Structure 1
């Protein structure tokens, strides 16, 4: 069997920010692999390092950001030959000419910050294609219309003449996705692309991204804090806390066999639409640590009701649960006391299994939103 190679492989990425009061260690040694045709979701609370990690892939770093360590190897074809480059070693000019928009594209949270209000949709769609693919204006226009149709926008020829303010939020986000896909990227990064949209439009945009991924075979990194979204789209999940990945695995590992107490907390805090309406929604106690201070031991220890003495002294390594599932918690050490996940979460997981079975049975019944 041919060995699959990741399109992107991140190792030991550490990023800090220089502030007047010292150094903020926003990302503290992140590892991640993304394979062609698969979606890797990154979840965690605000400030866990999700966006900083992926913006570093794109070379979008703040002026006070310092890359302390790490490599980001990206695999792609150029002039018919396979290339592997470390994105952290490329100059800004190389990133602009060879990578950004062409081979790695990004969809941001708010489409209005991604679109130029003074330019027509058509011009914004064709600009990248003319620059990266060297298409004539006529060919770029033709492809732009095809892309708008692909993302579900009716009357594409007319929409090309519109300005962003003339479109709804959902349509603007579809345009942003069309721009991101315009140069046939190998990797699409979505940074909370549905947060600013209402629930029905969110579902359509998610289905659109899934359909396009299947059709085009691209790799997707999807950042979100919404675990309901993750359940629908992800093949693999990285759970981040305080600048580190604390649990990683296939989506079924994370949802049906979570091992880190932080993941337990995230899953327990998901709203349950079928349960007791009077039951209070679970919240993880306390606040994430201030990463301007040195973190001793496990960063989650002070919020963890199952913390062991060693959690306050030493940072846990990644313990392997199976070949694709790992978690960084001392509870997985062979000498640790046996701790089971909360009963309420067990019930929630049983319910998730039932919902997944129901979803699988009815998935084909309604068709897809292509």
Structure 2
């Protein structure tokens, strides 16, 4: 069942430099129980897309066109009785409707820095209980009991003691677990994780990713990851959406993106991924800079940074082409056109992918 469907989403921001067209026609699907990842460089539009889903765009942001349809099934909840199914276009909802019916209740978000997400003046118990008290008018005793359950679920030891703690008294990993508990407090159906492990060390990062996967299975959640770390993507995602300059330029199953990438930008991202055999002196970087979206983008936005760019790339924006033999792998590049010259991925990347495939098949 499809729980989220984004179609032709365009978002702009009014700035002193003029109108910035941050999102330029995004299409995205999310099914029940599925994990999708949105990857790309900083400024590619990953966070803006998910903030639009949550209805928390900055005041100068505007959804110019497109739809964000969220669908939920009728089900019975032990705490909230029968919950009717339905569909809502988030773009058309007022701030009050979003706050009352969608944000927190149906779609929740985990941000990358728990210290900016948590209130330093409130203890942990109050912060985990607050959404339940606000959204469901739950009595304090029931909210307290459920908060304890949630702290145990996210792996907080000595939960009763931690309920009285303040954010500054906890480690970074524990604070991120608290943020996840708050996000889960109203039993959402979709969990958006915006760089949830960026501020954490590698060991804690792995534990948090495992925790989210574990909770997803228990609660049958649909999860959206936003990240620039392809290592994280490899561990968690079913499908990957590669974003560049406000558009999705390649989408497919995890194996299709990692082992059979077709867009030169995806080649660049994968080539820039270090591994144990990488020599620091030859670590690849994508040349150039992303375009200024305050100016009109003509043709393929990646063309000035793409050594394989064709003449048509500077004139016309490429449509999404289906990759032969797959109904899930799509690429927005003129190199996929039947009449385009055949271009192979860089040899160094081919070697890296062959090595990854060999390790997987061991």
Length-normalised TM-score, structure 2: 0.95
Which residue number corresponds to residue 55 of structure 2? 59
CA distance in 2 between partners of 1:143 and 1:305 (Å): 56
Query: Map of 1:176-325 to 2, 5 A cutoff?
Result: 176-273=179-276, 275-277=277-279, 279-321=281-323, 322-325=326-329
Residue 8 in structure 1 maps to residue 10 in structure 2: no
Structure 1's 276 and 120: CA in aligned 2 closer, same or farther, altered over 3 A? closer
Superposed displacement of residue 76, structure 1? 1.6
Of 28, 33, 39 in structure 1, the residue corresponding to residue 35 of structure 2 is 39
Unaligned stretches of 5+ residues in structure 1:
359-370
Superposed displacement of residue 110, structure 1? 0.4
Which runs of at least 4 in structure 1 moved beyond 6 Å after TM superposition? none
Superposed displacement of residue 62, structure 1? 1.1
Q: Which moved more, 1:72-81 or 1:156-165?
A: 72-81
Unaligned stretches of 5+ residues in structure 2:
75-81
Which residue number corresponds to residue 153 of structure 2? 150
Residue 22 in structure 1 maps to residue 24 in structure 2: no
Q: Which moved more, 1:335-344 or 1:275-284?
A: 275-284
Which residue number corresponds to residue 336 of structure 2? 332
Could you say what secondary structure the match of 1:346 adopts?
A: helix
Deviations 1:263-301 (Å, cap 9, x if unpaired)?
A: 00000000021x253551100000000001110100000
Superposed displacement of residue 82, structure 1? 1.6
Residue 350 in structure 1 maps to residue 346 in structure 2: no
Residue 130 in structure 1 maps to residue 133 in structure 2: yes
Which residue number corresponds to residue 366 of structure 1? none
Structure 1's 303 and 149: CA in aligned 2 closer, same or farther, altered over 3 A? same
Deviations 1:90-125 (Å, cap 9, x if unpaired)?
A: 111111111111110000010011111111100111
Superposed displacement of residue 80, structure 1? 3.6
Q: Which moved more, 1:79-88 or 1:331-340?
A: 79-88
Which residue number corresponds to residue 108 of structure 2? 105
Q: Which moved more, 1:124-133 or 1:229-238?
A: 124-133
CA distance in 1 between partners of 2:225 and 2:19 (Å): 28
Superposed displacement of residue 352, structure 1? 1.8
RMSD across aligned C-alpha pairs, in angstroms? 1.1
CA distance in 2 between partners of 1:99 and 1:197 (Å): 29
Superposed displacement of residue 145, structure 1? 0.8
Of 90, 95, 99 in structure 1, the residue corresponding to residue 93 of structure 2 is 90
**Matched length:** 353
Which residue number corresponds to residue 79 of structure 2? none
CA distance in 2 between partners of 1:327 and 1:343 (Å): 20
Structure 1's 185 and 357: CA in aligned 2 closer, same or farther, altered over 3 A? farther
Could you say what secondary structure the match of 2:5 adopts?
A: strand
Which residue number corresponds to residue 363 of structure 1? none
Superposed displacement of residue 71, structure 1? 0.2
Superposed displacement of residue 77, structure 1? 4.0
Which residue number corresponds to residue 117 of structure 1? 120
Structure 1's 357 and 111: CA in aligned 2 closer, same or farther, altered over 3 A? farther
Superposed displacement of residue 70, structure 1? 0.5
CA distance in 1 between partners of 2:106 and 2:96 (Å): 15
